[in-house]
């Protein structure tokens, strides 16, 4: 690894389980962080022990909103610590879906985040950022790491015959996982009506008697996934698994996802569905940095 022996990991509170896994993968120590809140809810952040001369990996998913603020505070705490370098790892890059101006006058939210993050970072790593366009908002080095091999490990261990993308945008994910597993993949077409409502076109799929995994980058309300699952069940799939990298599971998602036999997410966002870690993929990417 290009960092020699001096690599240390600092975890924000959104990414502790993944940071511990990565610490083990890279044999890099975790640095202590003190976090608390003032009476008015403002955050207090301190890195109490010196990190002078160290190469640091700061790991923090930026969901929900206060975790984004915590990341900024941690970066500031480190900014004049005398560290050798700072690599910021954002396993779930929130606001990645607002990656352009869909209507005149909108904020390009992912650009706003990128502009602040890069002030105190030598480089940035993300995991399956919603659109690679987001990487172009960083003036310096920004690398997106695919967590899809982690999902393919889980599906292989649990016997999946076929991959399905719930919309055209996710077809690249179904292809990657399908190719890794050497099983066929297909995709559906979806129209989003609003945050809570999607319409998925019915399409003839060759799924009778098969164990099928529906794969996407993000599960938010679960509407996209549930709509695909209903089509698969109507067409005779034997079992249906929902798989995503980033499991937000908001606003009734658990209820909507009851149509699935199993739900799997990675540890970019920690939840009861985080059944597989992207630490091996991130570790490999970190080893490739100089």
Task: Kindly determine how many residues on this chain lie close enough to bind ligand R5P according to the rule CB under 6 A.
Answer: 13
Which residue bears the tokens 């511990």?
Answer: 20
By the rule CB under 6 A, 242 interacts with ligand R5P? no
Q: Which stretch binds ligand R5P (CB under 6 A): 20-28, 55-63, 109-117, 222-230?
A: 222-230
Asked whether the beta carbons of 78 and 109 are under 8 A apart, the reply is no
Question: Can you tell me the distance from the alpha carbon of 96 to that of 112, in angstroms, rounded to the nearest whole number?
Answer: 11
> Does 277 engage in binding with ligand R5P (CB under 6 A)?
no
With CB under 6 A as the contact rule, which of the stretches 62-70, 155-163, 218-226, 270-278 interacts with ligand R5P? 218-226
- Please spell the DSSP secondary structure of the chain, one letter per residue: -TTTT-EEEEE-TTSHHHHHHHHHHHT-EEEP-EEEE-TTS-EEEE--S--TT-EEEEE----SHHHHHHHHHHHHHHHTS--SEEEEEESS-TTTT--S-SSTT---HHHHHHHHHGGG-SEEEEES-S-GGGGGG-SSEEEEE--HHHHHHHHHHTT--EEEESSGGGHHHHHHHHHHHT--EEE--EEEEETTEEEE-----S-TT-EEEEEEEEESSSHHHHHHHHHHHHTT-SEEEEEEEEE---TTHHHHGGGSSEEEEETTS-STTEEE--HHHHHHHHHT--
Q: Which of 31, 59, 108, 219 binds ligand R5P (CB under 6 A)?
A: 219
**Active-site annotation holder among 8, 67, 190, 275:** 190
Active site residue 190: yes
Pick 33 or 218: Cβ nearer ligand R5P: 218
Task: By CB under 6 A, tell whether 126 contacts ligand R5P.
Answer: no
Give yes or no for residue 239 binding ligand R5P (CB under 6 A): no
Pick 38 or 102: Cβ nearer ligand R5P: 102
Q: Which of residues 150-209 bind ligand R5P (CB under 6 A)?
A: 167, 169-170, 198
Query: Whole-number minimum distance, CB 45 to ligand R5P, in Å?
Result: 30
Q: Near ligand R5P by CB under 6 A, which window of 85-93, 109-117, 146-154, 221-229? A: 221-229
Token pair listed for 235: 């067409």
Instruction: Rule CB under 6 A: say whether 118 interacts with ligand R5P.
Output: no
Binds ligand R5P by CB under 6 A, chosen from 59, 205, 218, 237: 218
Q: Is 129 or 286 the residue whose CB approaches ligand R5P more closely?
A: 129
| Rounded least distance, CB 186 to ligand R5P, Å | 16
| 3 state DSSP class of 131 | coil
Q: Taking CB under 6 A as the rule, does residue 222 contact ligand R5P? A: yes
Among 87, 171, 200, 224, binds ligand R5P (CB under 6 A): 224
Cite the active site residues: 190
Query: Residue numbers of the site for ligand R5P (CB under 6 A)?
Result: 167, 169-170, 198, 216-224
């Amino acid at each position: 690894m290009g960092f020699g022996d001096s690599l240390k990991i600092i975890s924000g509170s959104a990414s502790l389980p993944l940071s511990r896994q990565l610490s083990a993968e890279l044999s890099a120590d975790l640095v202590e962080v003190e976090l608390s809140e003032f009476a008015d809810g403002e955050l207090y952040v301190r890195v109490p022990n010196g990190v002078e001369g160290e190469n640091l990996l700061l790991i923090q998913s930026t969901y929900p909103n206060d975790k984004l603020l915590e990341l900024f505070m941690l970066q500031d705490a480190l900014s004049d610590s005398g560290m050798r370098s700072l690599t910021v790892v954002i396993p779930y890059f929130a606001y990645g879906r607002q990656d352009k101006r869909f209507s005149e006058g909108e904020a390009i939210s992912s650009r706003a985040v990128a502009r602040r993050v890069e002030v105190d970072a030598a480089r940035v790593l993300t995991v399956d950022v919603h659109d690679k366009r987001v990487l172009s908002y960083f003036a310096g080095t920004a690398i997106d790491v695919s967590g899809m091999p982690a999902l393919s490990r889980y599906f292989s261990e649990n016997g999946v015959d076929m991959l399905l993308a719930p919309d055209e945008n996710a077809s690249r994910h179904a292809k990657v996982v399908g190719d890794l597993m050497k099983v066929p993949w297909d995709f559906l077409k979806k129209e989003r009506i609003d945050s809570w409502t999607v319409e998925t076109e019915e399409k003839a799929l060759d799924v009778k008697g098969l164990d099928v995994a529906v794969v996407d980058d993000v599960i938010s309300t679960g509407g996209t996934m549930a709509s695909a699952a209903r089509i698969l069940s109507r067409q005779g799939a034997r079992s249906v698994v929902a798989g995503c990298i980033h499991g937000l599971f908001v606003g009734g998602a658990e209820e909507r996802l009851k149509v699935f036999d199993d739900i799997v997410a990675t540890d970019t966002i920690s939840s009861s569905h985080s059944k597989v870690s992207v630490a091996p993929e991130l570790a490999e990417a970190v080893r490739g940095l100089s």
